Chains A and B, each alone.
Chain A
Amino acid sequence: MRRGPWLWTAALAAYAFLYLPLTIVVIYSFNDSRLNAEWVGFTWHWYHDLFHDEDMLIAAGNSLLIASVASLSATLLGTMAGLAIHRYDLKLLNFMVLAPVAMPEILLGVSLLLFFIQVLNLTLGMLSIVLAHITFSIGFVAVIVRAQLTSIDESLFEAARDLGASPWETFRYVTFPLILPAVIAGGLMAFTLSIDDFVVTFFTAGVGVQTLPLRIYSMIKIAVTPEVNAVSTLLMLLTLCMIVLASRFAPDVLKGKT
């Protein structure tokens, strides 16, 4: 098929739509003016402010801690879920792990809030946020791990058993090394999902704990200062790194080749 110029135009428009707002945020984070209005001159000022903003640093610390714990746990659980779905080939199991991925976040946020308060009788805070983040990350990890498993020749696992490996040794020496790239990619995905989540965190954070997205939100309620641009830029950078890393580990899975 010959690709007409209109296709290029359409593609360009789509990418502009995606990246223009982000680009503007980044540019104004270096603007030497309190207002996101006109370009005055280059400065590191807002980044300097950022690293001396006590509340911001605490929020960042919380976010990193939550993302680390949540992504590690989600990786463990999601990998097990992926293995189980592959092994038992259960449609229902697959659906149930995927549902939270597709569910509107606000629904998930509200139901988790009710669950934590009414059922678990939990005081909202770090723990509830971590649990919530694990909940919505498991599905992503499971999907990636399962996609990888599907691409592996089933006879490899049989060959391992055939050559004297116990089920555990088969997992340890064959299955796990072969899915490791997907596990790492899934973990990195879970980390990025956690670190920039707002909606679910908003519902499950309670009053005491701030994360970066929550902090940004409360700042822009007052005024959008370039400090917000700066922290957004850094968050964007971190997310980007994670995605690049993830796609390096499991290129096939993330390139949609499965």
Chain B
Amino acid sequence: MALLELRNVTRRFGDFAAVDDVSLSIEAGEFFTLLGPSGSGKTTILRMIAGFEFPDAGQVLLDGKDLADIPAEKRPIHTVFQSYALFPHLTVAENISFPLRMAHREPADIRQHLKDALEQVHLDAKAGKFPHELSGGEKQRVALARALVNRPRLLLLDESLAALDAKLREEMQVELINLQREVGITFVFVTHAQAEALALSHRIAVINRGKVEQVDEPARLYGFPRNRFVADFIGQITMIPAQVEQVGHGHLHLKVDGLGEIVTPLQQGVAAGDRGVFAIRPEQVRIGVQAELAELKNHFSGEVLSLLYQGDVSVYRVGLTNGTMIEALLPNSAPGRAELFKVGAEIRVGWRHDAGVFLHE
């Protein structure tokens, strides 16, 4: 049985459904992420799990038991708030031991847990400090320690890393992964940053306008987005309008106006005549002269429109003969040779027959 289950949960504010018929199933020990643009309903979902909002329809179940009548303070679920919400009148130690005191644990027990928690987040030296004396990263760690100290079944994190600067955020990402593995507690993490979601999660639910668009492991989500929203929201992708010409053995044959035929892997639920887009990631696209790409199933003529040098990689934009534009990403493995092809150069672009996906309109 799943640890946490959302069954057809809807939450309306006035006429507006902030969360619209959402069903999710989260397993024990998972690092599960809700990913979506700002305003898509992620926080509202989290607040219903925590017990600060209540569904207008549907159920939230923990271990198969409906949480409807269980108030926030009785749920074995803790939250790391976006603002950290550290109590300003309490020291680091008092903040972290707060949930233990509320659970009426023995003083000796509290001391032991506090000590362990402080060690776990490397804050032993800051125990007597007040929140306003801490750096952003330290506040973050206090909030984590406080939420984890009495071992909740579930930890909710709302945009927890958003307030940190880029470098610190990367460090905290690593810490978060390690911490989750160490404590073995199920994490439900909310973010609008797709790279963060991909880096941290076991599974990701992509949320858009209160609905779940897709739930998958990061690599599957990236490689096989189910629709245009997911494809566009996660990573870079080029989309070319296309129609399914033929459903073959293991392959789809797509027709692109003014370009020709594209071969791409077979997908379920696709029939000849379907209209949509062919979507391909820039790193799957190769560019070169005719001979280099000859062994690829798909290759076309194009012209280099622009080149963005980014140090580790160069991003080429290539105009195809039918007027569509495709992005190609080339690693700069030979230093000093950034500009392999000049803007305006006539070249070939190509990709393997197992690259890309067809997405319905």
Contact = CB atoms under 8 A, between A and B. Distances in A.
State yes or no: do A and B come from one complex: yes
Interface of A: 153, 155-156, 158-166, 169, 173-174, 177-178
A250 to B, nearest CB: 14
Contact of B73 (A153, A155, A156, A164): A164
A161 B72 contact: yes
A169 B101 CA distance: 10
A159 B85 contact: yes
A196 B146 CA distance: 49
9 contacts: A159-B79, A161-B51, A163-B78, A163-B147, A164-B99, A169-B102, A173-B98, A173-B101, A174-B87
Nearest to B83: A155
B309 interface: no
Given A163-B146, A177-B89, A178-B88, A153 B78 contact: no
A156 B52 CA distance: 13
Contacts of A153: 83, 85
A166 B99 CA distance: 11
Interface in B97-128: 98-99, 101-103
B50 interface: yes
A156 B79 CA distance: 12
A162 B79 contact: yes
Considering residues A160, A164, A166, A177, which has the most beta carbons from chain B within 10 angstroms of its beta carbon? A164
B81 interface: yes
A156 to B, nearest CB: 5
Interface in B21-75: 50-52, 71-74
B87 A159 contact: yes
B98 A155 contact: no
A227 B179 CA distance: 74
A163 B81 contact: no
B50 A162 contact: yes
B72 A155 contact: no
Given A174-B87, A178-B88, A178-B89, A159 B102 contact: no
Contacts of B85: 153, 155-156, 158-159
B98 A163 contact: yes
B198 to A, nearest CB: 28
Contacts of A161: 51-52, 71-73
B266 to A, nearest CB: 47
Contacts of A159: 79, 81, 85, 87
Considering residues B74, B87, B103, B146, which has the most beta carbons from chain A within 10 angstroms of its beta carbon? B87
Nearest to B149: A163
Contacts of A163: 73, 78, 98-99, 102, 146-147
A175 B52 CA distance: 18
A173 B100 CA distance: 13
A159 B144 CA distance: 12
B81 A164 contact: no
Contacts of A165: 73, 98, 102
Contacts of B50: 162
Contacts of A178: 88-89
A131 B33 CA distance: 58
A109 B71 CA distance: 47
Interface in B233-291: none
A251 to B, nearest CB: 15
A40 B63 CA distance: 90
A244 to B, nearest CB: 23
Contacts of B87: 156, 159-160, 174
B155 to A, nearest CB: 11
Contacts of A155: 81-83, 85
Nearest to A158: B52
A14 B77 CA distance: 59
A164 B89 contact: no
A162 B89 contact: no
B90 to A, nearest CB: 8
Given A158-B81, A162-B78, A163-B102, 10 more contacts: A156-B85, A158-B85, A159-B85, A161-B52, A162-B77, A163-B73, A163-B99, A163-B146, A163-B147, A165-B102
B73 A162 contact: yes
A32 B74 CA distance: 73
B260 to A, nearest CB: 57
Contacts of A174: 87
A155 B86 CA distance: 9
Nearest to A166: B73
Contacts of A169: 102
A66 B72 CA distance: 44
A177 B147 CA distance: 21
Contacts of B71: 161
A203 B298 CA distance: 98
B77 to A, nearest CB: 8
A164 B103 CA distance: 7
A151 to B, nearest CB: 11
Contacts of A162: 50-52, 72-73, 77-79
A161 B53 CA distance: 13
A169 B100 CA distance: 13
A159 B81 CA distance: 8
Nearest to B77: A162
A174 B73 CA distance: 14
A164 B99 CA distance: 6
B143 to A, nearest CB: 9
Nearest to A174: B87
A160 B77 CA distance: 12
Nearest to A157: B85
A136 B81 CA distance: 40
